[in-house]
Chain A
Amino acid sequence: MISLGIEGTAHTIGIGIVERDRENCTILANCSRMYRPEKGGIHPREAANHHAHHLPSLLRQAMDESGVPIADIDLISFSIGPGLGPCLRTAATAARTLSLLLKKPLVGVNHCIAHLEIGRVMTGCTDPVLLYVSGGNTQVIAFMEGKYRVFGETLDIGIGNCLDKFGRAIGLSFPAGPEIEKLAKEGKHYCSLPYSVKGMDVAFSGILTACLHLMKKERMEDICYSLQETCFCMLAEVAERAMAHTEKEEILLGGGVACNRRLRDIVTTMAEERGAKCFSPPDELLVDNGAMIAWTGILMHESGITTELAETKVKQNYRTDEVDVPWR
């Protein structure tokens, strides 16, 4: 089965074409465009306009890259939520159009679960705890009793959002994570910051405020270093708690912030120290992408799920634990 997946939950519009052959996933094409605001954060309407503008050329590029004739596509998958309304609606409109045009079934995919499923199939881990870290989302997810359940999450802002907001304050452009990572490498002195772990949940807004206060008296490199160390250790700690709680031996990374090498090192060390294993797909599958939507669409469709046209209204607040998971 070949699936075309459209991702459009936030700043990235992506199209992926994926083929399933038994348990194997072959990515035939995976291309995307990212909206980068000139200043400030994501403006939902501007991002949606960006997506609408780029969709036609992106579709052509994906078709060319895959070499698959358009008639061979069996399924149209799209990110139905969670995310920014205007962006979701743009992707959904494109998906509906393709589905009607090609007379192929539609499947609306939960974005967070797509991160987990693509990680699972590409890294070969079987039953991981997912540490999903991106701009808007920070969740610790694992499969238990028929569903993907959220064991821990941020109580305020996403980790990526925390990094971006601090980046904006010190004049970095969006997304600020990669720049902060570079600056942090030059940091030597740890400035004390709040450490906010509540059970398996985390909170970042207090740390952000503390960093903004430190700007007057500490070196930027040291603040970036302290910010990363504190936030990433908190993430490793809640991930470890979830592993201990669910008695799982695998930790999987997902989301754009997982491209950060320091975070990966920290989580890898955490896993090794407890005799577990850390898995991470390549960067292009960590960030938002169409291939993960296409792949999860196949898993869902082959276990009997189709989203009828009338049910394709986007779900901005789509929770991970709302999704039935008959494919596991």
Chain B
Amino acid sequence: MEIIKRGAEAEIYRAEWRGRPVVIKRRVRKGYRIRELDDRIRKQRTKKEALLMMAARQAGVHVPVIYDVNLKNHEIVMQFVEGERVKDVMDEKDEEWQKRVCREIGAGVALLHGSGIVHGDITTSNMIVWQGHVHFIDFGLGTKGGDAEDMGVDLHLLMEAFKAAHRNPHLFRWVMEAYETHFEGATEVKKKVEEIACRGRYMKG
């Protein structure tokens, strides 16, 4: 096993599982959290993440295939998606690529929301382009059965992520165009996004 990333809450390993190249996501113990809280959070998030990824796949969204879940070690074994992180490459690519990928992001989020899945940490760091398609990863903060409010928070987060990390100001508009074509409830969620943006501290509502 080779560690490929040490994230804020989990360690990501590259390994082999029954002959397949896999990624193992292991939620590590946080020394700053008291035991009760730490156990609860790690177990809950591992379990929820696995369930959400399976639901997302059923909804037709590209996500890594899950091979195994180990709740004792807080581990998920999943398919190795070997592509480029959208966050890393977005600004370098031409506009045509950006437009296509943004549309696919919008369509992906629409499919998730359409089946009640809220990602919860939807930034371009959590999207990988592999075999021509945007794959969504890291569902650790997601929820199922979300309402327009939760989806609004999701989209608001994505909007902020685009604003903070990427230069081209049109990107999010392309995401939203695709989102609206692929999700019936888009209008309601869009309204929520505006409402949520005003709710933040010191916004000119």
**Do A82 and B200 have beta carbons less than 8 Å apart?**
no
Using a Cβ–Cβ cut-off of 8 Å, how many residues does chain B contribute to the interface with A? Answer: 29
Partner of B41, one of A139, A195, A241, A265: A195
Closest to B7 in A: A244
Residue numbers in A under 8 Å from B123 (CB-CB) = 199, 245
Interface flag for A154 (CB, 8 Å): yes
- Asked whether A151 and B164 contact (CB < 8 A) given A190-B37, A230-B37, the answer is yes
Indicate with 1 or 0, residue by residue over A261-291, a CB within 8 angstroms of chain B CB atoms.
0000111011011100000000000000000
Chain-A contact segment, one of B26-34, B78-86, B104-112: B26-34
Partner of A199, one of B40, B157, B202: B157
* Whole-angstrom CA separation of A273 from B9 in the bound complex: 11
Interface flag for A101 (CB, 8 Å): no
- Asked whether A318 and B201 contact (CB < 8 A) given A197-B141, A229-B34, A243-B8, the answer is no
* Whole-angstrom CA separation of A190 from B41 in the bound complex: 14
Residue numbers in A under 8 Å from B75 (CB-CB) = none
Interface flag for A236 (CB, 8 Å): yes
- Asked whether A233 and B157 contact (CB < 8 A) given A137-B201, A198-B141, A317-B202, the answer is no
**Do B141 and A199 have beta carbons less than 8 Å apart?**
yes
Q: What's the dominant secondary structure at chain B's contact region?
A: loop
Closest to A157 in B: B201
Partner of A154, one of B7, B31, B37, B201: B201
Closest to A273 in B: B31
**A109-163: which residues lie under 8 A (CB-CB) from chain B?**
136-137, 139, 144, 149, 151, 153-156
Interface residues of chain B, those whose CB is within 8 Å of chain A, are: 6-9, 30-34, 36-37, 40-41, 120-123, 125, 141, 153, 157, 164, 196, 199-204
Besides A229-B37, A273-B32, A317-B202, 19 more A-B contacts (Cβ < 8 Å) are A139-B201, A151-B164, A153-B201, A155-B196, A192-B36, A195-B37, A195-B41, A197-B141, A199-B123, A199-B157, A229-B33, A229-B34, A233-B30, A233-B37, A237-B8, A241-B8, A265-B32, A266-B32, A273-B31
